[in-house]
Chains A and B, each alone.
Chain A
Amino acid sequence: MKLFITKYKNSPVMAISLAVVVASVMVITTTLVFFNSSAYETVKQIQTGIKTSTELSDNLDTTSPIKASDIEVFYNSFINRLNSFDDHKDYGPDAISDKALGI
């Protein structure tokens, strides 16, 4: 250790390395604070919305002629997508009742 200190005492490489280490620590710290904050969850939700709208506008057919049978297909698809969710499981009162929480 003593030899190491003597050897690199006045080295600019050492100073730069230390600066890099300090900067890395600061970046890692701020990143961890951000990922643990509620702001990150909000960013994730916004990103999902943007991603979805971009994907949808890329894949949607908005130009070809539409037929009556297409409307039926669309409607059934809407209902199937909506029915794929279990509202009671996701937002029903049971999961957050005193009994469920054991209080």
Chain B
Amino acid sequence: MLRRSLIIIIVTLLFCLSGIAVAQDDIVNNAEARLTSALNTSQITLDDVTKEKLASKCKNAQIIIRQLQLEADRSAILRIKTYSSINADLQAIKLRTLRQGLDSSETDLLSGKMQLMIDQFTIDADKYRTTLEDLVSLNCAEKPELFMAGLMLARTQRTKLYSEANNIKSLIKNSKNDIFNQLKKRLTL
């Protein structure tokens, strides 16, 4: 009885460990597939000297990228939370204005635009995080070209996020005259 139980435990442990290995392997394989796709799109070719240089230095770069990933996660969560709170305030303004029998279609439109931008930002922040994660999990010493392709993709995604963050800020700033001042006038009448 006990011997049989011990065998079951050992088999279960082996099964669990192989499960972890399969899951880890799956993450690495998916990461490599995404980075290979990035490589095919960018069509990067590195000469032998650059490959060697990259292979020797990429391990340290991965440590920095891991740090960037953690910062990007924190920043994205905080930004999504803040943008959503602004949009909720816009909805509140719309509802309070409507209750006073005033037109609030511009506020509604602004809120709709804001929501679209938040959704896009959320998707792109997730893609950026995934690319950084792929870069960290890659065996970069063996595959420096994939590493470089992933790095270029991460840079493009980061630039896109920079531009999206700026666009959200501009959307609200530029609405001062068209929406908020108009609303103030209506409320003053």
Contacts and interface: CB of A to CB of B under 8 A. Distances in A.
Interface of A: 5, 8-10, 14-15, 18, 21-22, 25-26, 29-30, 32-33, 37-38, 41-42, 44-45, 48-49, 52-53, 56-57, 60-68, 71-72, 74-75, 77-79, 81-85, 87-88, 90-93, 95-96, 100-103
Interface in B52-85: 53-54, 57-58, 60-61, 64-65, 68, 71-73, 75-82, 84-85
Interface in B86-100: 86, 88-89, 91-93, 95-97, 99-100
The bracket for how many chain B residues form the interface is 35 or more
What are the 3 A-B residue pairs with the smallest beta carbon separation, nearest first?
A91-B162, A56-B88, A66-B96
Contact of A96 (B68, B77, B82, B97): B68
B85 A52 contact: yes
Given A26-B12, A53-B88, 18 more contacts: A14-B2, A15-B1, A25-B12, A25-B16, A37-B23, A44-B77, A45-B76, A49-B81, A60-B91, A61-B92, A65-B96, A66-B187, A71-B184, A72-B184, A74-B93, A78-B86, A85-B79, A101-B64
11 contacts: A22-B9, A32-B20, A45-B77, A52-B81, A53-B84, A63-B95, A65-B96, A68-B185, A78-B89, A79-B173, A85-B165
Given A60-B88, A65-B100, A93 B158 contact: yes
B77 A22 contact: no
A58 B88 CA distance: 11
A45 B83 CA distance: 14
Contacts of B96: 61-66
- Name the residue in B12, B61, B96 with the highest tally of chain A Cβ atoms < 10 Å from its Cβ: B96
B119 to A, nearest CB: 10
A67 to B, nearest CB: 6
Interface in B139-165: 151, 154-155, 158-159, 161-162, 165
B103 to A, nearest CB: 13
Nearest to B74: A90
B84 A52 contact: yes
A1 B180 CA distance: 80
Contacts of B129: 38, 41
B109 to A, nearest CB: 16
A42 B168 CA distance: 22
